Amino acid sequence: MSWNPFRRRAAQPPSEGTQDPASADVPATAPDTDYGEALAPTRGGLFGAIRQLFHDSRRLDAEFWEELEELLIASDVGAMTTARLTETLQRTVRDQGITDAGPAEDALKAQLVQQLVSSGDAALALPPDDLAVILVVGVNGVGKTTTIAKLATWLQHHTGRQCLLAAGDTFRAGAIDQLKIWGERTDCQVIAHQAGADPGAVVFDALAAARSRGADCVIVDTAGRLHTKVNLMAELGKVRRTISRQETGAPHETLLVLDAVTGQNAILQAKAFTETIGVTGVVLTKLDSTAKGGVVLAVSEELGVPVKFVGTGEHLHALAPFDPDRFVGALFQRD
C-alpha cells in the first residue's frame, strides 16, 4: 500500500521524548490545558483583588457591592455583564440568607460557570465520519495563523484527524508563506494560490484536494480585516457560501480568533463578525498575556457564542479546549 499522508491516525497524546518543531525547548508533551499558569497574570491582577475583596470583607454592604462592580468592569467583564452578575448575586445572597463573604464568593463562582455553560457547547461540532471544514476568521494581529497551526496540532493529537490547510488569505504574500511554514511544522499539506488570487478559488481547490487525497479536515485561513470595513466583511460571506456549495452542512465550525489583550474592543469585533458570517465559536489568544481575563465572560454574555479554545502559551500544544469549571476555578485559585 502506498503511503497516504492523510490516512487517519489513532488519537493519542504526543510520544514522549519528541519536541515541538516550532519551539525546540518545549517538549511535545507540554500540558495544553494548564489554566492555572495561563491565567496567572489575571489571577495576580484584578481577579486577585476580587478574591481579596471577598476574603477581607466582613459585611456585604453597599461599599462591598460598589467595589465588586468596579473590579469586574476593570477586569474587562464589561458594564452590561457586570450589572447582571452583581444583580443576580445580590438576589442569591438575599434569597439564601447569605451574610458572609465566603459563601457569597462560592455563589459567584457557580454563577460564572453557569453563564459560560449557557452560551453554548464548547465542543467542536464536526462530522465524525466525513470531511470536516473549519473556517477561521479575525482581524490582523490576533494570532489567527498561529492558532490554525495549534488547532491542527490539537486535532491530530486528540481526535486522530489529519488536516489540510487552505491559504485563503491571499491579500498578503507573507500570510501564504507563513501558513506554508506552519504546514511543514504540523505535517499538514497546504493548498495555496498566488497572492491576490480569489480566496473562493483557493477554498474550492482545497476542498477538492481534501476529497481526492483522503483528508478528513480542512482548516481555512482568511484575510485579516477590520470589522468596520463593510466590503471586506462581505467578502467573507462569499467565502462561506463557496464552502457551503461544495460541502453540505459546511463550514461545520466558523471560529473567530480574538486577542484577549484588546479587551472590550474584542467584543465589538465579535459582534460584527457574528452578524456577517454566523460565528459558531470563539478562540481567545494571548490569555496568558493579560491581567484582564474577564473578557471571556463578556464574550459569552454579550454574544451568546461559546468560547471553544483558549491560548495558554506560545508553543504548538498551548491551545486548550475551553472548560468553564476549570477556567473559573483557575481564576479564583489561591497561589
pTM of the model: 0.85
Can you list the alpha helix ranges (DSSP code H) found in 98-198? 101-118, 144-159, 173-186
The C-alpha atoms of residue 22 and residue 236 are separated, in whole angstroms, by 29
Written as one letter, the residue type at 147 is T
> Could you tell me which of 34, 253, 31, 243 has the C-alpha nearest to residue 127?
253
pLDDT for residue 13: 39
Positions of the chain with pLDDT lower than 50, given as ranges: 1-32
The domains of the chain, with CATH numbers, are 37-118 (1.20.120.140), 132-323 (3.40.50.300)
262, three cell numbers: 484588546
CA 100 to mean position of chain CA atoms: 36
8 Å CB contact between 182 and 148: yes
CA–CA gap between residue 20 and residue 40 (Å, rounded)? 23
C-alpha span between 164 and 172 (Å, rounded): 20
**Pick from 249, 238, 224: which is nearest to 137 by CA?**
224
Residue 168 near residue 199 (C-beta atoms within 8 A) = yes
Give the HSE-up count for residue 57: Cα atoms under 13 Å, Cβ half-sphere.
23
> What pLDDT shows up at residue 225?
65
Give residue for cell 504546514: 183
Considering Cα of 294, then 298, then 299, then 300, what sign does the dihedral take? Answer: positive
pLDDT of res. 17: 33
The CA distance from 27 to 12, in Å, is: 16
What confidence tens digit (pLDDT) does each residue in 167-218 have?
999 887 789 999 999 999 999 999 999 998 999 999 999 999 999 998 999 9
The 10s digit of each residue's pLDDT in 121-133 is 889 999 988 999 9
Question: CA 120, CA 274: separation in Å to the nearest integer?
Answer: 14
> What pLDDT score does 226 carry?
59
User: Is residue 332 a contact partner of residue 101, using CB atoms and an 8 Å limit?
Assistant: no
d(CA 193, CA 186) in angstroms, rounded, equals 20
Residue listed under C-alpha cell 488570487: 197
Length of the chain: 335
